[in-house]
Structure 1
Amino acid sequence: MGKKRKHSEVVVPEAKKDETAPERPKRTLLGWKDKPENPQDSTTNPVFRNREKVLVTCSRRINYRYRHLMLNLVSILPHCKKDNKVESKATKGATLNELVELKSCSSCLFFECRKHKDLYLWMSKCPNGPSVKFLVNAVHTMEELKLTGNHLKGSRPLLTFSSNFDKDPHWKLLKEIITQIFGTPKEHRKSKPYHDHVFVFSIVDDHIWFRNYQISCPHTGADKIDRGGLEKMTLIEVGPRFCLNPIKIFGGSFGGPTLYENPFYVSPNQIRSLEKRQKAGKYAMKVKAKTRRKMHEMSNPLETDEFADMWKE
């Protein structure tokens, strides 16, 4: 048995440390807004890491071309996670937000196909928003194009935007959403520490056009670039290609208050109905021309020929 402690000994309790932690500065995608004065202090200067992860999924009954486009985006985005198909219903927003939370993601790319013809793309920041709905046009997958460009899988892309993105506030918001979703985080476990391809986003006719280019430098050795090789740097297109027509920008994730609505947007259903009306108009014009011809023949009959029945006898 151990010795008993004498009553004369007094145990002095240790002084409690200050449990109040210093207030953290506001965080952004590219770093801290207010940097502390003493960079040596590790308690007030934590290391910032971008933990952006994107969930990529699609709706049921999607076309094979659109599914190939989704797989092309999965191959060029190393920080994304692919999930099973989701039923495209009115309650898809709650389902997708739950999936994003289960996959520990912060953004979502949802490809929604309707009537096996029209493809809609949802870009959403979960769970609080904002979110954007696009109509996808001019789709060309990597398998269709067969371009000569080839970049390293998993490498971090450079994002370039045209100067039109800085004109209107809704374009600025779209630029920020695209930057956060398509920008691969630094030191991501599935990314490579190289920049050998470029994502180009340009606005033409109120549409966002996407292109993917490989950065090619001439070199003779294994790792050395020729003298003056950086001046001869060229871009080789890799693919895929697609065009995004913005429809609406919502304040929440897959819904909420409408922040912006495109006044120039025309739905594909209206375009198809106008084409059918034009075809119906052509047929109506043919019927009218035929009736006019018959009326003209009836009003101007031909004179009877005396020798018409001579050889019948």
Structure 2
Amino acid sequence: MAKRKAPPAEAAPAPAKAARKEAGGKRRAPQDDEGPSTSGGGAVAAAHTVSGFKNKEKVLLLSSRGITYRFRHLMLDLGQLLPHGKKDAKLDTKSERGVINEVADMKGCTSVLYFEARKHKDLYLWVAKAPQGPSVKFHVTNVHTLEELKLSGNHLRGSRPVLSFDKNFDESPHLQLLKEMLTQVFAVPKRHHKSKPFFDHVTAFSVTDGRIWLRNYQVLPDPDKKRAAAGEGLTLVEVGPRACLQPIKMFAGSFGGPVIYENQEYVSPNTIRSMIKRQQQGKYVSKVQSRQDRKLHVAAHPLPRDELGDVFK
């Protein structure tokens, strides 16, 4: 006869589970609005929440069609300063800039640097917060890339910069807004996977004549060994790139919307070129007019006849 198998023994309930079962209560999830416990668990959770904050700022860099090589090199040089930036293909349209917000959404970017080239001569830079705004349009002049300058400075690629702003940024509201936008764009997020945990260069923004001057410097110890050993001597060596940004308009939305600031001192480069042509045209017209005036003067004032003029003929 086959032996009959004994029924399996039931597993004894865990002590905690048995205690909850006897008490007749259920395990309650901790609430966020609870005060700090006596054991310190609430303080630890709060500290963990604060330390777990992560800056997810990403910058989208793209340009329009017709951009020249110098302007493209400037965009690539700025991209080296932004390890948290993402590049995209050239934009085909020059009127419907709202498409850029959709591209930024697909790339997961919150800020946009859009380089718009006009007539293969002029460069405009859009700095916008996608998709709500605000946004600002700059006219970029005095462009110098890394290859042009041939400067001796050289810092780590992807290192976090020290942002330096001129005190003039605190004088007017629109400059305060520009300072905040530039800070969010050029400040590399902490512990970004493409950045290096070093501060070896300074990105400086200064305001002069209503324009923002962009410079990038490398931080080096002073050549004087005594000052370097004391930790006091530091020197700055310019790396590049250089650019001059003249604000034109600021909008409440992203790439459009109500105008919140307009630079009354801005003169478009097309107007400047037309004035130069008029001046050059005026020189030629003045020459032609002087010739005609000379002919009329000679005809109106003929020379008297000389009695000895025919002696040697």
Specify the TM-score bucket, using the shorter chain as the normaliser.
0.7 to 0.9
Asked if residue 252 in structure 1 is aligned to residue 256 in structure 2, the reply is no
Tell me by how many angstroms 1:40 deviates. Answer: 1.5
Structure 1 residues 302 and 310, CA, compared in 2 at 3 Å: closer, same or farther?
Answer: same
Residues 7-61 of structure 1: per-residue CA shift (max 9 Å, x gap): xxxxx797363486559xxxxxxxxxxxxx9642248834111111101000011
Asked if residue 66 in structure 1 is aligned to residue 71 in structure 2, the reply is yes
The CA distance in 2 between the partners of 1:195 and 1:48, in whole Å, is: 21
Asked if residue 88 in structure 1 is aligned to residue 99 in structure 2, the reply is no
Which of the two has greater helix per residue?
2
Aligned 8 A contact 2:228 2:234 in 1: no
The CA distance in 2 between the partners of 1:304 and 1:19, in whole Å, is: 121
Q: Which residue pairs with 2:298 in the alignment?
A: 297
Asked if residue 282 in structure 1 is aligned to residue 283 in structure 2, the reply is yes
Q: Which residue pairs with 1:141 in the alignment?
A: 145
Pick aligned residue for 1:191 from 185, 191, 195: 195
Q: Which residue pairs with 2:105 in the alignment?
A: 101
The CA distance in 1 between the partners of 2:47 and 2:140, in whole Å, is: 47
301-310 or 250-259, larger mean C-alpha shift? 301-310
The CA distance in 2 between the partners of 1:268 and 1:208, in whole Å, is: 18
TM-score (norm 2): 0.84
TM-score (norm 1): 0.84
Question: Alignment RMSD, CA only?
Answer: 2.8
* SS at structure 2 position matched to 1:68: helix
Tell me by how many angstroms 1:218 deviates. Answer: 4.5
Structure 1 residues 309 and 242, CA, compared in 2 at 3 Å: closer, same or farther?
Answer: farther
39-48 or 281-290, larger mean C-alpha shift? 39-48
Tell me by how many angstroms 1:232 deviates. Answer: 2.1
Q: Which residue pairs with 1:227 in the alignment?
A: 229
Calculate percent identity across the aligned residue pairs: 52
Where does structure 1 differ by over 6 angstroms across 4 or more consecutive aligned residues? none
Q: Which residue pairs with 2:13 in the alignment?
A: none
Aligned 8 A contact 1:22 1:44 in 2: no
Aligned 8 A contact 2:151 2:239 in 1: yes
The CA distance in 2 between the partners of 1:193 and 1:220, in whole Å, is: 27
Q: Which residue pairs with 1:52 in the alignment?
A: 57
The CA distance in 2 between the partners of 1:212 and 1:91, in whole Å, is: 33
The CA distance in 1 between the partners of 2:243 and 2:31, in whole Å, is: 51
Structure 1 residues 38 and 281, CA, compared in 2 at 3 Å: closer, same or farther?
Answer: farther
Question: Structure 1: which 5+ runs fail to align?
Answer: 6-11, 24-36
Q: Which residue pairs with 1:15 in the alignment?
A: 26
Question: Structure 2: which 5+ runs fail to align?
Answer: 1-6, 11-20, 35-40
Return the index of the structure with the highest Cα Rg. 2
